[in-house]
Structure 1
Amino acid sequence: MRKESKIKNLHDLRAEITRLKALAREQERYLDDQYLLLQAKIEAPYRFLKSALSWVPGANTAKGLFAKRREGEDWLSRALRIGLPVVLNRLFLRKAGFFKRALVTLLSQQAAGALNKDRLSAFINKVTDLIRPSGKKRRPRHVDYGIPPDSETY
C-alpha cells in the first residue's frame, strides 16, 4: 500500500514544510500546557504537606539532615550526624528516658556537625605521630672532597 504524496513541485514542498512547522508549534504549546497542568496537580499535595509540616516542631531538624549540602559539611559529618545518635541510643542509653535520649541526640548531632574529614584526618595524624617511634637522627658524616691533609701540594 503506497501513500500518494500531494507534493508535486517546490512550492508544494515549501507549503508542506510550513504546515508541518505550524503543526509542531501547536503540538508543543499543547504539551507545554499539559505539563504545566500536571505540575500544578503534583505541587498541590506537596504544598499542603509542606504547610502541614511547618506546624510540626522538629520537622526542620529532620529536613536539615537530608538537605542537599551545608557549607563545610562533607560525607563524614553527614553520616555521623545520622549514625552517631542511633549508635549512642542503642548501645549506651538503652534504658534511658525520652528526655535523656533527645538531649544526647541533639548534642551528638552538634558534635558531629563540628567534625569533618579534615579534622579527623589531622587528629589521626597527630596520634600516629605520637605512637610512631621516631628514628634516631644520624649525624651526617663530614665529607670533604678537598685537598687531603697529607698531600704534597704545598
Structure 2
Amino acid sequence: MMKTNKNIRTLAELKTEIQLLKVDYKQKGVQLKYDSKAYINQFSLSNLIKKYATPSGFLKFDEKTNISSKIMSIVLPMIMNSTLFKGSGLVTKALGALVSGKVGKSLDAESLSGIFNMIKSFFTGRKAKTKNEVAFVDYGIPPDSETY
C-alpha cells in the first residue's frame, strides 16, 4: 500500500479525496474478484482435463520430467539388442545400447508422433491433388447500378 501525503486545505478537497478513495477501493475490489475467479477457474476440473488430457500432457508433466523419453531410453536399447545386435559381441551391444539410450532420451512425444505420421504417410499413398479452377470473378461496377 502506497502512502501519499496530500495537502488538504479545505473541506471540499477532503470530500473529493474521500470520494476518490472510495472509487479506488471499489475498483480494487472488483479487480480482486475478477482475478480470484480467474485463479480459481485455472484449477477447475475442466481446465485441468484440457491441460493434462492431451497426448503430450500424459507423457510430459513439466519441462524436466519427460516420461516418454525415459521409457524410450530404456526400451530402445533392449529392442535394438534383441533384434539388430542379436549375434553381436558384448562391445557392440554395449555401444549400441549407449547410442540408442542417448537417442531415446532425445525423443519426446511430439517427435514420436511426427515420426509415426511420416511413416504412416508413406503407406497411405498420395492422392493426386486437383486444382479447382476459379471461375471468372468481376469486381467492377454491377450491371444494375445507377452509375454510367
TM range (shorter): 0.3 to 0.5
TM-score (norm 2): 0.42
TM-score (norm 1): 0.41
Answer with 1 or 2: which has the greater Rg: 1
